């Protein structure tokens, strides 16, 4: 059991940092010229094991190394009926429409701030499992992320 858990966590960590190869050889279009385009990758993805059997939160960071911004237009997952991006301001949560990933910048979903909200879960994700998520962008198309399910108390800054 112990070994299995370790293996799962390692797999999760690796999957969480798996990068998108982007536009291959023509990447690093760092100039701001007309050829600039977004170059996206996703890291630090995790889902805290939800308490509820119908809804969960998910977190990740989208990094854009490209010279043009992109927009996250929607998020889908086989695991849930719907996934929406939420902004939390104070204790209030509201649904966000399109979120920009700035050129040479990042869009962060993190606990206490913006988060992905999974509604209508098909089954309750358990620690050690993976949840498949597809991020849809205005320019970069689709980006698939395997989100490891972490303990309910997981804190990415302490790593446990």
Partner 1 sequence: MRKKTYAATALLAAALMALSACDSSGGGDKPATVVAEQSSQQAATVLDQPFEKPDLVLTDTHGEKYDLRKETAGRPTLIYFGYTHCPDICPLTMSNIAVAKSKLPKAEQDKLRVVFVTTDPARDTPAELGKWLGMMDRQFIGLTGDFATIQAAARSVGIAIEPTKKDKNGKLVSVHGTQVIAFSPKTDAGYVVYGESTTVEDFTKDLPKIVKGQNP
The footprint of partner 1 on residues 124-153 (CB under 8 A) is 128-130, 132, 139-146, 148, 151-153
Residue 154's closest CA among 52, 54, 49?
Answer: 49
Q: 3-state DSSP call for residue 102?
A: coil
Number of residues in contact with partner 1, rule: CB under 8 A?
Answer: 76
Sketch the per residue contact string, 24 through 53, with partner 1: x for CB under 8 A, - otherwise. x-x-----xxxxxx--x-------x-xxx-
Task: Specify whether the CB–CB gap between 69 and 102 falls below 8 A.
Answer: yes
Contacts of partner 1 in 59-78 (CB under 8 A): 67-71
Shortest Cβ 144–partner 1 spacing (Å):
4
Residue 9, classified by CB atoms within 10 Å of its CB into exposed (0-12), middle (13-18) or buried (19+), is middle
Among 25, 90, 125, 150, binds partner 1 (CB under 8 A): 90
Q: Which tokens is 3 given?
A: 């070994």
Among 65, 107, 125, 150, binds partner 1 (CB under 8 A): 107
Among 44, 55, 73, 74, binds partner 1 (CB under 8 A): 55
112 touches partner 1 by CB under 8 A: yes
Q: What DSSP string describes 11-69?
A: HHHHHHH-----SGGG----S-STT----EEEEEEEEEPPSSSSEEEEEEEEEE-SSS-
92 touches partner 1 by CB under 8 A: yes
């Amino acid at each position: 059991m112990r070994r299995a858990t370790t293996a799962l966590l390692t797999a999760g960590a690796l999957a969480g940092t798996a990068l998108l190869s982007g536009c291959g050889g023509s990447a690093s279009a760092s100039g701001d010229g007309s050829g600039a385009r977004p170059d996206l990758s996703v890291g630090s993805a995790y889902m805290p094991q939800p308490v509820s059997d119908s809804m969960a939160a998910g977190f990740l960071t989208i990094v854009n190394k490209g010279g043009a911004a992109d927009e996250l237009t929607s998020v889908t997952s086989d695991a849930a009926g719907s996934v929406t991006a939420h902004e939390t301001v104070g204790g209030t949560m509201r649904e966000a429409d399109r979120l920009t990933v700035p050129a040479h910048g990042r869009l962060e979903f993190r606990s206490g701030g913006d988060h992905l909200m999974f509604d209508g879960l098909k089954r309750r994700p358990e620690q050690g499992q993976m949840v498949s998520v597809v991020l849809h962008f205005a320019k970069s198309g689709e980006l698939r992320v395997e989100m490891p399910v972490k303990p309910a108390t997981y804190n990415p800054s302490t790593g446990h």
